[in-house]
Amino acid sequence: MLRLFISRCALALFVVFAISIICFLLSHVAVDPASGVAGDSATDADLEAIRLQYGFDRPLILQYGDYVAGVMRGDLGTSYLSGEPVSALIAERIPATALLACLSIAFALALAVPLGVLAALRPNSWLDRGALTLAVVGQAVPNFWAGLLLILLFGIKLQWLPISGSSTLAHFVLPAITLGSFAMPALMRLIRAGMIEVLEADYIRTARAMGLSQRAILFKYALRNAVLPVISLTAVQFGFMLGGSIIVESVFAIQGIGYLAWQSMSRSDMPVIQAIVLFISLVYIVLTLLADLLNAALDPRIREKS
Amino acid sequence: MTLLHKFKTTSAVAALFSLCAGAAFAGPSDNSLTIGLGEEPPGFDGYISTARDGVMMTRHLFDMLVYRNPETFDYEPLLATEWTRIDDLTWEFKLREGVTFHDGSAFDADDVVWTLNTYADPETGARSQASVSWIDRIEAVDPMTVRVVSKTPFPAAMEFIAGSLPIYPSDYAQEVGLQAFSQAPIGTGPYMLEGGDSGQFTLKAFGDYYEGGGKGTPSIETLNVRIIPDTATRIAEVIGGNVEWIWNVPEDQVSQLDTLPTVTAEQGSTMRIAMVAMDAAGRANPDTPMADIKVRQAINHAIDRDAIVANLVGGDGEVINVPCYPMQFGCDTAAAVSYDYDPEKAQALLADAGYADGFSIKMLSYRDRARAEAVQSYLAAVGIEAELEVVQARASFSAWREGGVDLWYGDWGSFSIADVSASMGNFFNGSTNDGARDQAVMDLIAQADATVDEDARKAAYSEAIKEITERAYWVPMHTIVMGYAYTTGLNFTPNVDELPRFFLASWE
């Protein structure tokens, strides 16, 4: 278990390092960073002044070296545009994104688990078909469109819910539904498939033969085994949400990580972009690690193997 | 039964949530206006925050020395009550007595001297160096008189003084530092920043704002600014009435929005001009067909600009034949050679140039894909295959400047400055924006930039316009229109300089 943990951590560090290089190179090659900082109507003199001020005229390797040295000291740099420390900008936006991610994943699981279990109990029934249709629709409808439809219905027609902003809990309802319904189908299908497989297993038949109640069989014996891959997938989905959904946060004007990423990209605010990419990869890596450990805790076989 | 029950529960939950949401902004009843912007200004320092939304906020929080009336284009008193030119380099300003900053401190010459001298220093890092780099120094003659001295005779000085140089309180700004100042600004403007957090902030009318300045005194008490990045969401908020003013409304949405009883939508003309600039200097490719004057003339004849304006620009968009905005000083439309839509002539010119079979080139654009595709198909009709890429504004500008494309369908707002030095002066002066690099034109521009004699400047610019259009370095396309939508009952007038002035707005 400890060996697994250490090797995973080493791998994670390597991934973070590789990501930082790729991101750094891409953001310097795609657009002249000076023209990003200066804006559309910059003159040559503006660009030159900015290059000198920010050191864009120096070799890339030196700029990258400075960046890495800063990160090692816990200094993610300062935003070219607002001049605020990047760590503060990110910290300021984590609560909104985290709240949205928790609500969305809760919404997704609240739909996916019961629907998946019910569908598995009666494969090919009308309920299974209905759940499948819901899954296909949820997966196929693009986020921005689903968001707009929800805005039209609940925001404008019925006027039940606020459309944009993040000042009250009510502001998170529509975005959480939008984001959650995109994550829900994969989870539901995975639960359904896992349950069908498990319910046909010998030990379930044995349990039935022993006269155990349906409830005990379902929740104590079947679901616990079917849920293992679901945990991994949930972790990945949750990581994706914690990284901030650029589209959902933009559509609903939620001041989270995704919106910050989008804004920084459109303004070539390099230090912020790099820090966000680093942050997102860290979130992913930590969550996958946690999912592995949780799986190991739930399934003795995984523990034994490692 | 269950469905109905469920429905009831949902409505109850929703009702609960709408209670949590609190009262929406009330508009006319509490004399406030909620504004939806697409981008959050990085701060409120007008020398740093140079994107449109930021410039707009600067004009509300701060005052410049003079005000340029957006209707008449005349200069009117603001922080200065009188001004005279002492010599070719020097302007003298008499400052207004009794002006106070939002924190109650008094305004005097020290504030002007400190602000302008600080930002004229390139080390301070003003984003738009063009706005300040011409300044040699600012001197106080007495506590209520200052002199602005330029390095060389600088004809557009008053334009920049009225447009881009807000005055800060020297004591406060020095005390807190410019970084903190940008987050908690204090000015003399008609509105003061009351506060806000990420995604929204509030401006309150400044009670002690002086009377007699060009901006008048504000009628609307509170401006609530909300940042909503998505255009569709901004439009939805205006329809729902939670946001009462937005801009950058796409052309096709304006007419639809205007049919709603609660929303007024309109297209305002702007001084932003669109052009297809050609890489005549061959920066992208030394063998580019663009180097041939006949090819450039052919491209001018190939594009039906009237059709593009009528069908895709909308509003008051107009075809232009000059490489500048016609209302700008020195933009002599009579001097321009114009090219009518004549695809046959275009083909003949191409054949003359040895391109009877056409050729293919790279074309870059942003802002509006439909317009760019229209140009692409007009070119295809005469045998020119333009490989079109539509990218973000910034990527597009930097590609053109680095000389990566043959054709660039871009646009230019001239920093809202009504002088040709801000348009032609930026695109034909040998800078990276200049795809022509025509020495004769560059000399004319330099000559016009170096004198304050209005007639001499006009003459030089007219000559430059003639050269540029004769040699067909650009296809001057059209003016751009800006789409606005706001709650009906708001008195609001769009201005050609794309700077909304809420201190002039009011509720009916």
pLDDT at B113: 97
For residue A46, the chain B residues in CB contact (below 8 A) are 127-130
Do B198 and A53 make contact, defined as CB atoms within 8 angstroms?
no
More confident residue, B251 or B111: B111
Do B394 and A35 make contact, defined as CB atoms within 8 angstroms?
yes
Do B397 and A252 make contact, defined as CB atoms within 8 angstroms?
no
- Rounded distance between C-alpha atoms, residue B214 and residue B80, angstroms: 10
pLDDT in tens, A207-256: 888 888 888 888 778 888 888 888 888 888 888 788 768 889 989 999 88
Closest CB to B50: pick one of A39, A151, A262. A39
Do B228 and A253 make contact, defined as CB atoms within 8 angstroms?
yes
Distance from CA of A144 to the nearest CA of B (A): 10
Render each residue's pLDDT in chain A as its tens digit; 306 residues. 677 778 777 877 888 888 878 877 776 776 677 776 666 666 777 777 778 777 777 788 888 888 788 877 878 888 877 778 888 889 988 899 999 999 999 999 999 988 998 888 888 889 889 988 988 888 888 888 888 888 888 888 888 888 888 888 899 999 999 999 888 998 998 999 888 888 888 888 888 888 888 888 887 788 888 888 888 888 888 887 887 688 899 899 998 898 888 888 877 788 888 888 888 888 888 888 788 777 777 777 766 665
pLDDT in tens, B212-244: 999 999 999 999 999 998 889 999 999 989 999
pLDDT at B51: 78
pLDDT at A223: 82
Q: What percent of chain B has pLDDT over 70?
A: 95
Q: From residue B287, how far is each of B81, B280, B352, B361 by CA, in Å?
A: 57, 10, 17, 11
- Rounded distance between C-alpha atoms, residue B191 and residue B222, angstroms: 9
Among A40, A151, A245, A247, the strongest candidate for a mutation testing the B interface, having the largest count of B CBs within 10 A, is: A40
A155 close contact with B: CB closer than 8 A = yes
pLDDT at A31: 63
DSSP labels, B292-325: SHHHHHHHHHH--HHHHIIIII-TT--B--SSS-
More confident residue, B6 or A29: A29
Do A255 and B128 make contact, defined as CB atoms within 8 angstroms?
no
For residue A92, the chain B residues in CB contact (below 8 A) are 198
- What mean pLDDT is predicted for residues B85-112? 95
- What mean pLDDT is predicted for residues B91-118? 96
Whole-prediction pTM = 0.81
- Residues forming a β-bridge with B267: B483
The residue of chain A nearest to residue B134, with distances taken between CA atoms, is A45
B26 close contact with A: CB closer than 8 A = no
More confident residue, B4 or B449: B449
- Residues forming a β-bridge with A70: none
A8 close contact with B: CB closer than 8 A = no
> How many Cβ contacts (< 8 angstroms) between chains A and B?
158
Closest CB to A170: pick one of B21, B240, B415. B21
pLDDT at B333: 94
**ipTM exceeds 0.95, yes or no:** no
* Averaged confidence pLDDT in chain B: 89
Nearest CA to A144 among A251, A255, A254, A257? A251
pLDDT at B20: 38
pLDDT in tens, B367-423: 889 999 999 999 999 999 999 999 878 778 888 888 888 999 999 988 888 889 889
Ordered alpha helix ranges (H), B342-474: 343-352, 369-381, 393-401, 424-427, 439-449, 454-470
For residue B22, the chain A residues in CB contact (below 8 A) are 168
Residue B12 has pLDDT above 70, yes or no: no
Do A173 and B397 make contact, defined as CB atoms within 8 angstroms?
no
pLDDT at A304: 65
B471 close contact with A: CB closer than 8 A = no
- Rounded distance between C-alpha atoms, residue A194 and residue B472, angstroms: 69
Q: In this structure, which amino acid lies at residue A37?
A: V
Do B42 and A266 make contact, defined as CB atoms within 8 angstroms?
no
